[in-house]
């Protein structure tokens, strides 16, 4: 596979700091991105921040600072969080940037000129949390927003509206004709049901009610509303310009997006609003929209009132983790594609101890120690004989690729652990320590070579999840971590000395239970 690959996340609203839910989305996106970098020639990963709207305006006022000051503070906090988690994005877009605002204004004027936007007086129920108007049928029995459990306010003003209904049939047809457009597929029916009673949507607010936003060029009484502003970031980041017939090389290289990763709560806006906007702009649609689930804390939905909102920084600090690999692995493997995941300290400790310390780390460590003890750390020519376990490794590569083609991150991790289980069984069955003691040194060497070859495959496959651990494995095996998956079987371990006693280091230390219980 040599196609170009462009992946995006939802841009985070900077009314607060990053929490584990934000981290979940960024980590699975980063894992997908790193995997496809192992397969594709040109790749791009976009993330960023959504910085306009009434919530930021009100929060800044309550703190007696300007909206821009609030944005700058929280954007820096988000970026620091992603750095801490080794989120390897190519571009970070801010909707307050001059480049973004200028293109958003052009997009608005283009849609207005061609009749896809019109002005209309409106009275409706507005949820500040969702930043959208709600229908009464969308509310709970108590008349509350189902997502934020707050009572929407009645808003009456003259706004610009986008003709969403004009594109209703085309969106329905696209979803039905492309069953893998929305992932997981069971979410498609939800979107189709939402489309049944879809209405035109407000795409501006009166400057008297919302002043913190991008002004409409042709009407200074209006501010461009969140959906055209925020959703357009995926193309403004590539330098799209609606006034140009020929777009720049970055845009033509990477659009349409290969995968747009978003939370299930904003699927409607991305699979309906965003798609309609792209249709109105006569642009290709993204190939896939991946709607992930939520992360609960000890089986309870995160809530500020419950005090269970966790930050990734606190988790790493709590377990004294210098690198984020264990957290990355746990979060990206805790939920099957599109399903909700759960975080608990106990489960985190048990899972990473079992998978990273025991299943992976201990296998490498004891195998290298046997090589040093009996062979002075050297692979001899006669050891290079492939057993069946190598075929299992090669099949695992195919299984991992198949899972990532469906953006099944946790499922791919399971296949890697299954390979490690097989490798542990292989070494236990073959017992190279016993073979060495009994004088069957060549056969013992063959077993060790096969284990190291499996670990070479594992280092590359696990790299998207655990880049630091994977690099450490490759370093100890004297192998190359930065290779394409299709070159894996061409870079086998060669004869020669690969390690000394002093070079053997644990790739992941166990989180011992006594420490974990007293860590708080």
Q: Which of 401, 395, 439, 402 is nearest to 419 (CA)?
A: 395
Residue 368 three-state SS? helix
pLDDT for residue 121? 86
Domain that holds residue 325: 316-517
In a domain, 21, yes or no: no
In a domain, 173, yes or no: no
pLDDT for residue 131? 67
Q: Which of 37, 52, 106, 145 is catalytic?
A: 145
pLDDT in tens, the chain (520 residues): 558 999 999 999 998 888 999 999 999 999 999 999 999 999 999 999 999 999 999 999 999 999 999 999 999 999 999 999 999 999 999 999 999 999 999 999 999 999 999 998 877 787 777 766 777 777 887 888 887 788 888 877 899 999 999 999 999 999 999 999 999 999 999 999 999 989 999 999 999 989 999 999 999 999 998 889 999 999 999 999 999 999 999 999 999 999 999 999 999 999 999 999 999 999 999 999 999 999 988 866 655 544 546 888 999 999 999 999 999 999 999 999 999 999 999 999 999 999 999 999 999 999 999 999 999 999 999 999 999 999 999 999 999 999 999 999 999 999 999 999 999 999 999 999 999 999 999 999 999 999 999 999 999 999 999 999 999 999 999 999 999 999 999 989 999 999 999 999 999 999 874 433 343 3
What region, left, alpha or beta, does residue 400 occupy, with left being phi > 0 and alpha being psi -120 to 50 degrees? alpha
- Tell me whether residue 304 is one of the annotated catalytic residues: yes
In a domain, 183, yes or no: no
Q: Which of 98, 304, 490, 520 is catalytic?
A: 304
In a domain, 343, yes or no: yes
- Tell me whether residue 174 is one of the annotated catalytic residues: no
Q: Which of 109, 14, 12 is nearest to 65 (CA)?
A: 14
In a domain, 344, yes or no: yes
In a domain, 144, yes or no: no
Q: Which of 52, 101, 106, 130 is catalytic?
A: 130
Determine contact, residues 416/458, Cβ cutoff 8 Å.
yes
Q: Which of 148, 391, 395, 497 is catalytic?
A: 148
- Tell me whether residue 145 is one of the annotated catalytic residues: yes
Q: Which of 127, 132, 259, 337 is catalytic?
A: 127
- Structural domain tally of the chain? 1
CATH of the domain at 333: 1.10.730.10
pLDDT for residue 164? 98
d(CA 184, CA 226): 26
- Tell me whether residue 83 is one of the annotated catalytic residues: no
Per-residue b/e over 327-358, b at no fewer than 16 CB within 10 Å? bbbbbbbbbebbebbebebeebbebbbebbbe
In a domain, 78, yes or no: no
- Tell me whether residue 120 is one of the annotated catalytic residues: no
pLDDT for residue 127? 78
- Tell me whether residue 35 is one of the annotated catalytic residues: no
Q: Which of 42, 83, 91, 301 is catalytic?
A: 301
- Tell me whether residue 100 is one of the annotated catalytic residues: no
In a domain, 423, yes or no: yes
- Tell me whether residue 132 is one of the annotated catalytic residues: no
d(CA 344, CA 295): 10
pLDDT for residue 304? 54
């Amino acid at each position: 596979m040599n196609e170009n690959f462009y992946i995006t996340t939802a841009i985070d609203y900077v009314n607060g700091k990053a929490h584990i839910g934000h981290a979940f989305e960024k980590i699975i996106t980063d894992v997908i991105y790193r995997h496809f970098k192992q397969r594709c020639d040109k790749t791009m990963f976009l993330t960023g921040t959504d910085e306009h709207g009434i919530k930021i305006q009100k929060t800044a006022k309550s703190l007696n600072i300007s909206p821009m000051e609030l944005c700058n503070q929280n954007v820096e906090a988000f970026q620091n969080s992603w750095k801490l988690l080794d989120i390897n994005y190519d571009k970070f877009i801010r909707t307050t940037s001059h480049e973004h605002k200028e293109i958003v204004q052009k997009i608005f004027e283009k849609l207005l000129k061609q009749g896809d936007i019109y002005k209309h007086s409106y009275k409706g129920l507005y949820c500040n949390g969702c930043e959208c108007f709600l229908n009464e049928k969308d509310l709970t029995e108590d008349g509350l927003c189902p997502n934020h459990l707050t009572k929407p306010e009645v808003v009456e003003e003259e706004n610009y509206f986008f003709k969403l209904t004009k594109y209703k049939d085309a969106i329905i047809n696209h979803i039905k004709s492309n069953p893998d457009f929305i992932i997981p597929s069971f979410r498609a029916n939800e979107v189709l049901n939402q489309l049944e009673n879809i209405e035109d949507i407000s795409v501006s607010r009166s400057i008297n009610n919302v002043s913190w936003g991008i002004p409409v060029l042709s009407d200074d009484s209006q501010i461009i509303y969140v959906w055209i502003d925020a959703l357009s970031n995926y193309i403004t980041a590539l330098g799209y310009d609606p006034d140009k017939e020929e777009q720049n090389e970055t845009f033509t290289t990477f659009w349409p997006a290969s995968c747009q990763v978003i939370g299930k709560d904003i699927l409607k806006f991305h699979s309906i609003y965003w798609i309609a906007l792209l249709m109105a702009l006569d642009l290709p649609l993204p190939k896939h929209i991946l709607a992930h689930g939520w992360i609960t804390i000890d089986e309870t939905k995160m809530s500020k009132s419950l005090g269970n909102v966790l930050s990734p920084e606190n988790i790493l600090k709590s377990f004294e983790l210098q690198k984020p690999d264990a957290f990355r692995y746990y979060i990206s493997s805790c939920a099957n594609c599109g399903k909700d995941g759960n975080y608990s300290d106990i489960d985190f400790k048990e899972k990473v101890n079992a998978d990273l310390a025991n299943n992976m780390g201990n296998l490498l460590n004891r195998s290298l120690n046997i090589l040093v003890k009996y062979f002075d750390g050297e692979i001899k020519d006669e050891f290079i004989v492939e057993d069946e376990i190598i075929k299992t490794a090669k099949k695992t590569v195919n299984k991992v690729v198949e899972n990532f083609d469906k953006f099944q991150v946790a499922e791919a991790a399971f296949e890697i652990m299954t390979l490690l289980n097989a490798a542990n069984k292989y070494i236990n069955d073959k017992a190279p320590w016993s073979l060495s003691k009994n004088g069957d040194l060549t056969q013992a060497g063959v077993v060790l070579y096969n284990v190291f070859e499996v670990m070479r495959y594992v280092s590359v496959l696990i790299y998207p999840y655990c880049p630091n651990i994977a690099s450490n494995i490759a370093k100890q095996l004297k192998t190359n971590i930065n290779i394409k998956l299709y070159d894996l079987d061409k870079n086998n371990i060669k004869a020669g000395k690969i390690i000394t006693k002093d070079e053997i280091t644990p790739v992941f230390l166990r989180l011992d239970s006594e420490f974990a219980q007293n860590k708080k």
